[in-house]
Amino acid sequence: MNVVDVVVKHDYCIGCGVCSGTCPSTNLCMDWSSNGELIPYAGDGCKENCSICLDVCPFYDHPVNQDDIADFLFRKTPDINHHEYTGYYLNCYVGFQEDEQKRLKSASGGLATCFLVSLLKEGVVDNIVAVGIAEDRMYDHKILKSPGEVYECAGSAYYPVEISRILKVILEEKEDESYGIIALPCVVYGLRLAMLRIPKLKRKIKVIASLTCGQLQNRYCTELLALESGVRVDEIARMDFRRKKKGNMASDYLQVAIDLDGKEGTPQSNHGLPFHLWHYHYFKQNSCNFCDDVFGELADVTFMDAWLEEYMDDYRGTSLVIVRTPLSGRVLEGLSGHEVEGIDIQKVIQSQMGVIQKKRVLLCGKLYKKETIDMWYPKKRVKPDPQIYKKNKEFIDLTDKIQSLSKEFWREHRLDPSTKGFWEDLADSESQIRAYERKASLLKFPLKLIGKFREVLQWPKTI
C-alpha cells in the first residue's frame, strides 16, 4: 500500500511532492491529473513493507500531529509563548522593505525575501529553495545560490508546485550543502515528517520558513483568469499574480496574464472575479478543505500579509512575521534597509480571521459531513461538529458542488476561444450563489442596524 492507494484515491493529495522526492525506490513521479492538479503516480517498484511515502504525507494519519512535532521543536525554547491558532511564537513583527522597487515586486511588504537573502549573506545556509518561474510547469521550486536569484523569485505564485526534484537533489548530492526553504504550511508539515524519517534531510535543511495560506486552487483557475483577460490557454507563458497598483487597497492587487510573445492580457482586479472564485471554492484542491494549519506552525518563521485596517490603504503591502526560533529572530531584527517593529500576537491573529474561520471552524462542519456519508478523512486536530455543519450547511454544500463542477466543466471548455460556455454550464451554481448572498445580507441587516443605533446612542459594545 502506498500514498496513491490511500491519499490520492480519496482526493486528499495536495501535490506537495514530498512523497516522490523521498521514495527510496524512485517509484513515484509527479504529474498533472485530469483535474489540473499535481499528484504522484506509482510504478510497480514499491519495496515490500516500505511506508515512507505515507509516513511523510501531510494528509495521511500519523502517530504524531503538528502539535506533537511543534512541542519537540519549540517547547523548550526560553521565553517561548503559545497560542491555539498560531502555535509557538517568540515574537511577532510588522514591517516592509524600504527599497521601493523591491517592495513593489514582493508579496506583501517584502520581508520574506529580505529574510531569505540575509540567510545567504550571513552564511546561515548555502542555498535557498523558493518558488520561481519555470519553463515546463510555469512555476516550480528552484535552488537559489545568490541574493540576486532570490530577489528574482520575489512575489506570489497561486499555482500548484511540487518539491520532489529539489528533495532528490538534496538527498543525492555528496557535498555538505545546507538549505533554507520557504513553503506553504502543508509542505512544511511534509518536510518535518520527512526530516523525522531521513537523517540526511534533517542535517541539511537548516531553516524552514512558511507563508500563511487560506487555500490553493489548481492550475485551471489560472487558465480561466488568463482566458478571461484575453490570453488563450495554449498561449499562456506566465501569470503576474500580484501586481500592485497605486491608489488601490493593498488587497486589491491585479492578476495579469502574459502570453508567449510577452503581450499582456487585461488585468483582473483581485476584488472582482479572482476573489469570487476564491471565496466560493472554484477549482479548490480538496485537501485544502481538510487543513487546520493557518500559520505554518512547524516553521521557524512565518510571513503573511498585514490584513489590518491600519495597513490596508498602503497599496505597496506590509508584512507580518511570527518568529519561533532565536536564530530567525536574530536574522529578522538584523535586517538593514527595512522598517520592522514589534506587534502583538492578537493583531496577527486578527489579520487572518477569515482563514481561521475556514480552517478551525468550518472544517469541523466538513468533517461531520464526511462522517454522515461514512467516508475516510485524515485525522485533524479539530473535531467533527454537527452544529457547525447545520449552521453552515448551505455554504458547505454549495461550495463542495462548485469545487467539483468547476473542474469538470473547465476540462470541457479550457481550449475554447472564450469562457462563455463554461459560465453557461455553471449558470445554476451562480444563481445559487446570488440567492445565498441575498439571504446572508438579510440576516446581517439587523446586526448592522444595531450597530448604527449603538453609534448614535453611544452604547458600549458589550450591551
Contact 426, 403 (CB under 8 A): no
Give the confidence band of 462 by pLDDT, cuts at 50, 70, 90: very low
Give the confidence band of 421 by pLDDT, cuts at 50, 70, 90: very high
Burial class, 269, CB count within 10 angstroms (exposed 0-12 / middle 13-18 / buried 19+): middle
Map grid coordinates 537548516 to a residue: 206
Residue 262, pLDDT > 50, answer yes
Dihedral sign from CA coordinates of 162, 419, 275, 293:
negative
Give the confidence band of 446 by pLDDT, cuts at 50, 70, 90: low
What 152-155 contacts at long range (C-beta under 8 Å, 24+ apart), as own/partner pairs, is 153/113, 154/102, 154/105, 154/106, 154/107, 154/110, 154/113, 155/105, 155/106, 155/107, 155/240, 155/241, 155/242
Residues 67-83: what's their mean pLDDT?
Answer: 97
Residue 265, pLDDT > 90, answer yes
Give the confidence band of 443 by pLDDT, cuts at 50, 70, 90: low
CA distance 6 to 439: 39
Residue 460, pLDDT > 60, answer no
CA distance 363 to 190: 20
Residue 95, pLDDT > 70, answer yes
What b-and-e string marks burial along 51-86, b requiring 16 or more CB atoms within 10 Å of the CB?
ebbbbbbbbbebeebbeebbeebbeeeeeeeeeebb
Residue 453, pLDDT > 50, answer no
Give the confidence band of 43 by pLDDT, cuts at 50, 70, 90: confident
Q: To the nearest whole percent, how much of the chain has pLDDT over 70?
A: 95
First to last CA, the chain: 58
Look at residue 457 in the predicted model and tell me its pLDDT.
46
Residue 448, pLDDT > 70, answer no
Nearest to 301 by CA among 180, 209, 212, 213: 209
Q: Which residue has the higher pLDDT, 449 or 53?
A: 53
Residues 322-343: what's their mean pLDDT?
Answer: 91
Residue 204, pLDDT > 90, answer yes
Look at residue 337 in the predicted model and tell me its pLDDT.
72
Cα–chain center distance at 255: 17
Residues 19-38: what's their mean pLDDT?
Answer: 95
> pLDDT by residue (tens digit) across 148-190?
999 999 999 999 999 999 999 999 998 789 999 999 999 999 9
Average pLDDT value over all residues in the chain:
93
Residues 266-295: what's their mean pLDDT?
Answer: 96
Beta bridge partners of 83: 87
> pLDDT by residue (tens digit) across 102-161?
999 998 999 999 999 999 999 999 999 999 999 888 999 999 999 999 999 999 999 999
Contact 323, 89 (CB under 8 A): yes
Residues 68-73: what's their mean pLDDT?
Answer: 97
Residue 101, pLDDT > 90, answer yes
Look at residue 442 in the predicted model and tell me its pLDDT.
79
Contact 328, 207 (CB under 8 A): yes
Which secondary structure element, helix H or strand E, spans residue 237, and what is its range? strand 236-243
Give the confidence band of 16 by pLDDT, cuts at 50, 70, 90: very high
Give the confidence band of 432 by pLDDT, cuts at 50, 70, 90: very high
Look at residue 451 in the predicted model and tell me its pLDDT.
52
> pLDDT by residue (tens digit) across 352-367?
999 999 999 999 999 9
Give the confidence band of 235 by pLDDT, cuts at 50, 70, 90: very high
Look at residue 459 in the predicted model and tell me its pLDDT.
44
CA distance 276 to 278: 5
